[in-house]
Chain A
Amino acid sequence: KAGVTQTPRYLIKTRGQQVTLSCSPISGHRSVSWYQQTPGQGLQFLFEYFSETQRNKGNFPGRFSGRQFSNSRSEMNVSTLELGDSALYLCASSRLGQATYEQYFGPGTRLTVT
């Protein structure tokens, strides 16, 4: 069974631009969660989508948004990029939800904002 895939793997953007990251979950998984990982803040929860609906949201500004499609694939968008948005963005899928089911993480997208 194929694992969680994320595209692109690496991205360089400049301040003020916007970016869209993509995540394809494991087949049959309906929950997709997004996390931001930085050396200073560690692994922080962004949001979780389940059946095309945002189920939970972390403490991030409105510049961070996401969506989920009917095939469970998910995208996250960051608008008006800031230098502090440089991070590893991880996507994780689970069968029915992160709270009670195991999550499987993708390799991440490394975003560098200059």
Chain B
Amino acid sequence: DAKTTQPNSMESNEEEPVHLPCNHSTISGTDYIHWYRQLPSQGPEYVIHGLTSNVNNRMASLAIAEDRKSSTLILHRATLRDAAVYYCIFNFGNEKLTFGTGTRLTIIP
């Protein structure tokens, strides 16, 4: 199964940028990198995904390393509502997304 490595937990101050790292050294050239987050007592929520180039949307930015073995999710200005578990995942050739344990992000007011 596809394997990603993320820190178990991170903290950030409210209204500051947050950089969430992810390592995915076994990724292949055609695998998309996806980020989802799960707020307490809710189902996962799509954040962003990309293949090679950096991606931006209204929620976040995704910076993908040139060798694609790592990526960083950037929340430009964290709010209390961003406190969640963030999952970095990719399909493993057979198009089967596997969620790891994710990074629990705590926002400090």
Contacts and interface: CB of A to CB of B under 8 A. Distances in A.
Interface in A40-89: 42-45, 48, 55-56, 58
A106 B45 CA distance: 9
A42 B96 contact: no
Interface residues of B, number: 22
A22 to B, nearest CB: 15
B46 A56 contact: no
A99 interface: yes
Given A42-B100, A42-B101, A99 B44 contact: no
A96 B15 CA distance: 36
A103 B97 CA distance: 11
Contacts of B36: 103
Nearest to A102: B46
Contacts of A56: 94-96
Nearest to A105: B43
A73 to B, nearest CB: 17
A103 B99 contact: no
Given A45-B99, A103-B44, 14 more contacts: A42-B99, A43-B38, A45-B98, A48-B95, A55-B95, A56-B94, A56-B96, A58-B96, A100-B91, A102-B49, A103-B97, A105-B44, A107-B43, A108-B43
Interface of A: 33, 35, 42-45, 48, 55-56, 58, 90, 92, 97-100, 102-108
Top 10 A-B pairs, shortest CB-CB distance: A105-B43, A99-B95, A43-B99, A99-B91, A102-B46, A56-B96, A105-B44, A98-B97, A90-B43, A100-B32
